[in-house]
Amino acid sequence: MDDHKARAAHWFADLRQEIVTAFEGLETRFGGAAAGRFEVTPTHRDNDGGGGIMSVMRGGAVFEKVGVNISTVHGTLGDKAQKAMAARGVPGMADDPRFWASGISLVAHMQNPHSPAVHMNTRMFWTPHAWWFGGGADLNPCIEYAEDTAHFHAALQAACDAHAPEYYPRFKAWADEYFFIPHRGRARGVGGIFYDDLNTGDWEADFAFTQDVGRAFLKAFLPVTERRLGTPASDDDRETQLRHRGLYAEYNLVYDRGTKFGLETGHNADAVLMSLPPVAKWY
| Active site residues per annotation | 119
| Concatenated DSSP letters of 147-211 | HHHHHHHHHHHHHHHTT-TTHHHHHHHHHHHHTEETTTTEESSSEEEEEEEE--S-HHHHHHHHH
d(CA 178, CA 156): 17
Q: What strands lie across the sheet with 130-140, from one edge to the other? A: 39-44, 50-58, 63-76, 98-110, 117-127, 130-140, 191-198
Backbone region of residue 253 per phi and psi (left: phi > 0; alpha: psi in -120 to 50; beta: other values): alpha
DSSP 45: -
Q: Length of the chain, please?
A: 283
